[in-house]
Structures are given as structure tokens and as C-alpha cells.
Structure 1
Amino acid sequence: MTYFGKETSINIPALLVPEMALLNRLPKHRRKRFEQALHLMYESFEEHMSWEQIATHCSISPYHFHRQFTEFFNETPGQYMNRLRLQIAVNLLMSDTSINITNVAQKCGFSSSQALGKALKRELGVTAKHIQGMGKNSTPKETTTFLNQLAHPGRNTSLEQELAQFMTTELIWYPPRGVKKVWLSNTDWDAIFATYGARSTRLLGATPIDQLENSWSEIHTTIGDWQSDVQEYDFFIPEGLYFCSDVYITGDVGYLTALEHLFNLAEKKKLKINAHAFFVEMVRSIELSQTGGVTFSFQIPIVS
């Protein structure tokens, strides 16, 4: 497969992180400065740093930083920071319906809940309360369409969707798999990573295919530890053929884009999805940092 013309191994996960894909195209000296700037953008929200302050901190004149950033990233530094703030805010609001909106605003670099509310209304046309309701009442497809508004702008579509075109897939026969159930009040992956950290690579999620068109509150995913002792297994995934792809992501937009593309590919290839089986997600690796990502193995059950 290829990333912007560069040949890669089939064993390397698809990279659905626009920032990384774009930075990889830059000369080393420029890449280092922009990597530093992006890290500061992620880490300085609560300090309310402006992009001009970040440019100066990275020893780049604000004029040159604005010009080069816009050229490389297809949006201005201000647009990028605002979109990033909204991505984080939406993630927090959707994943925790009880979270205080003022706290969300503070975490995302907005001066107040009113400022956050105005940004949400202006950019997405909805209120914070509406987004909290979507965390329970919307379907995965509806959520994907909504979050696409916060994707990285590309040439004709989002950059996440452009990168998804290079996902490599395989048909793999898996034997019966057993896991020890992990009992969680919240099966959102961000909540799981916050609890299990590096141990998340022991976990997989199994979701009934016939529930994937339901609202989030009606989708019941079993999280299991597949590295437990065999005698502790209390949930089993039957053997079968799976349409698989490994993907590296850093957020909800990349995650949902990858899933949508994989299911679309299965349909395009005329593969019949097994409606009585489980969609499986395995955590291959995880980077525990503010800007770190996760490699998932996504596996769609196919009628053999």
C-alpha cells in the first residue's frame, strides 16, 4: 500500500492521522519545528495560548508560521486550533453526559461555557446539551456524519477519508476465541484506556453486527481480556472468516472514518457480512501521551 506515493509493508497499520501524514512530507528541520508547535497546541489549551505565542515559543516568526502552516495544513493556525478544541469538546460531551459544560470549556481552551456554546452553534449548528444527547441517542452512522464536520480539510474531501483509501485489508480465518469479560460501566475506548493504560493491549471488544445500526445506548459491546488463563474464559467468539484491517488513529474522527471505510469496502467487494456474528476490535498497541495514538485491528465477520 502507499502513503502519498511511499511504498509500505502490508504489516504496517494504515495511518489515519493527518498531522503525521503531512509532517512526514516535510524536510527534517521544518518537521521538527512544526512537531513542537503541534505538541504545544495540544498541551496548552488550558493556558489559553494563542497560535502567535506558540510560533514565538518555537522560534518562528508569526508571519512565517501562519504562511507555512496554511500551506502545509490547508487551514490557518487559528482554524486548526479552533477545530481541535471543538473535537476535544465534542468527545468529552458525547462520552460523559454528566460532565460539567464549564469544565469542558476550560479543558478545551474556551474562556467560558458561553464561548464554547457560541463556537458549537457557529461551527456545528448545535448546543452542548444536544451533543450530550447524541452520546446516547445517535447511531454510529449519524455520529460519523456529524464528526466529519470536524475532520481535517483535504483537496476534495477530508484528509482522514483520503488516507482511508490506503487501508490494507485481509481475509483471515480465526479459530474460536475465548476471553474473560471485563465489567465496565462505560465501554467507550477512551474510558477504557484511562482505566487500563498499557494493559489495554490485552483487551478486545465484541459487538453484535445486528446492533450496529442502533443508537449508542442500544449497542452492547463485550470487552474481554484475551490474555487471561483459559480456565477464566467466560465469553466466546465463534470461529469464522473476518475481513480485517489494522489502523493507527488518534481520535474519534479517524476511528469512525476507518470503520465506515472498512464496511464500505466489504460491500464494494461483495462480501456478505455475517449478521449473526460479532464485529471485533483488538488493541494492538497504545501510546500513553497527550498526542499518542492507538493501533486497532478491526475485524468484520464474513459468511464463508
Structure 2
Amino acid sequence: MTDPANKQPYVLVPEMTLLETLPAHHKKRFEMALFMMHNSLAESLSWEQIAQESAISPYHFHRQFSQLFGETPGQYLGRVRLQYAVSLLSSETPLKITDIAHECGYSSSQAMAKVLKRELGMTAKSLHQFVVSGTSADMAQLLDKLSHPGSNQSIEKQLAQEMPTELVWYPARGMKVKDIPNFDWDDVFETLGEKSTRLMSTAPISELERKWKDISFTVGDWQVDSEHYDYFIPEGYYLCCEVYLVSDIAYLAAIEGLFKQAEILGYQVNESAHLIEMVHHVDMSPIGGATFAFQIPIII
């Protein structure tokens, strides 16, 4: 694959794609509004307050936002709150329910419970159990309810369909395995920051339909000297993509999109090999995005 330092990743972020259609001065104000929506949840600001703080009249903000995003600012803000709540409730060691509610901008745990029941048909406890015991397909179905609405399917899935891919032959590779219990990229980013780019993750393709906790992830440092390798990846052809994303929704959409593109292109996926994930860049700003490289083995 092309050197990631000289290649721009494909952006799988609906907000960034939609804002590209705006004039520069409008785009800057909308970017400020979106930043506040995502990073001031605990302050429980209304969309009207956010519009005023972004130097946009609430009337024009509501009209332009609805036309551009296909949902009102209030609907978008509510969806962002729920996304964050689901993320916190999905943690291996979640916070107290009341703390999560306040962190996401809900007035109380009861208010958050009503939204969870109405939008997802779940309680906080059942949601946590669902994430722990569910399969990746179950999780994708859940997150699809939180995705950016499009005409026929979510915008994340639409973008994934247009994601560029490349068939690349790789020589044998290796890494030194690291013990990371309950492996999760978000936890890795929080712990290691930019050092996360040293890691490679592999998962047997034959296990991807299992419950998330039963998938045999192997994680290791691929930047150590080869003499320290204790895990090896065989040579072969891989269908690859490199994407910038900021959400679990886009993460799953990218992987699903890569497998669908392999099918469309007529490639046979090697079911006895592994899905490979690497991180080329981690954005440690409040935006919190990351550039992922996904690779699936192809039989030629």
C-alpha cells in the first residue's frame, strides 16, 4: 500500500462531507456549532444557545441545518447525546448511571432512561449486557439506529460504499504480541495516544460473526525489530482501505463496506485467515478521530 505519510485517507465522517458544500464563512460557523454540540454535552446547552454562540441566528441555523443534514438541530443534538450515552454504557466498567446521564447532558437518569427506551427499546442495564454478549452484527444493527440518516440508508453506509480500496500483495509480516485484556481501540487511544500507531490487531475472519467477547483478537507491536516477533502473518494479497473516522458507527461501516466491495469486485476472501487493523494516526484533540488501515486476505 502507498506510504500513509504521503496519502490522504478517505474521510468517513458525514459532517465533514456535508459541510464541504457550504461557502467558507458559513462552513466555519457550522464547524464551531458542531464542535460545541459534541464537546459541551454536559453543559446541557440547547441548539438555540449553540447557534447564538456560533454567531448564527437560530432561525437561519435551523433552516440551513435541516436542509443540509436531513434532520433538525434538535434531532441531531439528541442523537449525539444518545451516541455518547451508549458509548459510556458500553464500557467494560461503566460509570454510575446518574453520572453518565449528566455527562451526556440529560437532566436526570430518569430522563436518559426514557430516551433509551423510546429510541432503542432498552434499559441502561440491558444495553450494557447486549454490548457484552452481542455479536458484531448485533452491534452494527444497534449503532445503525444512531447513525446519520440518509435517503435509503445511513450516510455512513453510503460513504463506505464509495470508499476507495486497493488490492496489495504483502510479504510475510510479524509483530511482538502485547497483552491487552478486553481489547478496544478507544481504550488503547486513551492509554497510549500516538503510540497506538505501533499496534496491529488481527482477528480470525471465521470468528467475526461470534459474540464480540469471543473473538480471538491478537494485538502486537509491529515496529519492533523482526528478531522480537512472536506472531507472524503470512504473505499474500489483501484488499485494503485507509479511512479517517470519528465514531464506532463509521468504524463498523468501513469494515462492512470493505467486505462488500470484495464481493462486488468478485474477490474470494480467505475465510481461514485474518482481518488486519492498523492505526496510522490518532487525533488527540477533542474531535478524537483516527486514521485506520483495514485489510482482508484475498485468494488469487
Q: Give the TM-score taking structure 1 as reference length.
A: 0.93
One-letter amino acid of the structure 2 residue matched with residue 249 of structure 1: L
1:64-92 Cα shifts (integer Å, max 9, x gaps): 11111111111111100110111111122
Report 1:207-222 matches (<5 A). Answer: 207-222=203-218
Aligned mates of 2:235, 2:89 — CA distance in 1: 37
One-letter amino acid of the structure 2 residue matched with residue 253 of structure 1: I
* Structure 1 residue 187, shift from structure 2 partner: 0.9
Aligned mates of 1:99, 1:292 — CA distance in 2: 20
Q: Which residue does the alignment assign to 1:4?
A: none
Select the residue among 49, 62, 65 that pairs with 2:61: 65
Aligned mates of 1:56, 1:105 — CA distance in 2: 25
Select the residue among 98, 103, 113 that pairs with 2:99: 103
Report 1:10-49 matches (<5 A). Answer: 11-49=7-45
* Structure 1 residue 269, shift from structure 2 partner: 2.4
Q: Which residue does the alignment assign to 1:168?
A: 164
Is residue 161–residue 261 contact of structure 2 (8 Å, CA) maintained in 1?
no
Q: Any gaps of 5 or more consecutive residues in structure 2? A: 1-5
RMSD of aligned residue pairs (Cα, Å): 1.5
Aligned mates of 2:173, 2:251 — CA distance in 1: 24
**Percent identity between the aligned chains?**
52
One-letter amino acid of the structure 1 residue matched with residue 53 of structure 2: H
Q: Which residue does the alignment assign to 2:71?
A: 75
Q: Which residue does the alignment assign to 1:223?
A: 219
User: Match of 1:150, SS?
Assistant: coil
Aligned mates of 2:173, 2:95 — CA distance in 1: 37
1:100-141 Cα shifts (integer Å, max 9, x gaps): 222221221111211111101111111111211122211111
Select the residue among 119, 140, 152 that pairs with 1:123: 119
User: Which segment is superposed worse, 225-234 or 17-26?
Assistant: 225-234
Report 1:1-304 matches (<5 A). Answer: 11-304=7-300
Is residue 97–residue 133 contact of structure 1 (8 Å, CA) maintained in 2?
no
* Structure 1 residue 292, shift from structure 2 partner: 3.2
Aligned mates of 1:38, 1:117 — CA distance in 2: 25
User: Match of 1:243, SS?
Assistant: strand
Is residue 181–residue 225 contact of structure 1 (8 Å, CA) maintained in 2?
yes
User: Match of 2:279, SS?
Assistant: strand
Aligned mates of 1:212, 1:95 — CA distance in 2: 20
Aligned mates of 1:266, 1:11 — CA distance in 2: 22
Aligned mates of 1:231, 1:107 — CA distance in 2: 46
One-letter amino acid of the structure 2 residue matched with residue 260 of structure 1: E
* Structure 1 residue 29, shift from structure 2 partner: 0.4
One-letter amino acid of the structure 1 residue matched with residue 150 of structure 2: G
One-letter amino acid of the structure 2 residue matched with residue 74 of structure 1: G
Q: Give the TM-score taking structure 2 as reference length.
A: 0.94
Is residue 14–residue 164 contact of structure 1 (8 Å, CA) maintained in 2?
no
Aligned mates of 2:91, 2:253 — CA distance in 1: 18
User: Match of 2:268, SS?
Assistant: coil
Aligned mates of 1:259, 1:89 — CA distance in 2: 23
1:40-84 Cα shifts (integer Å, max 9, x gaps): 111111111111111111122211111111111111111001101
Report how many aligned residue pairs link the two structures. 295
* Structure 1 residue 248, shift from structure 2 partner: 1.1
Q: Any gaps of 5 or more consecutive residues in structure 1? A: 1-9
Aligned mates of 1:134, 1:14 — CA distance in 2: 31
One-letter amino acid of the structure 2 residue matched with residue 297 of structure 1: A
Aligned mates of 1:146, 1:111 — CA distance in 2: 24
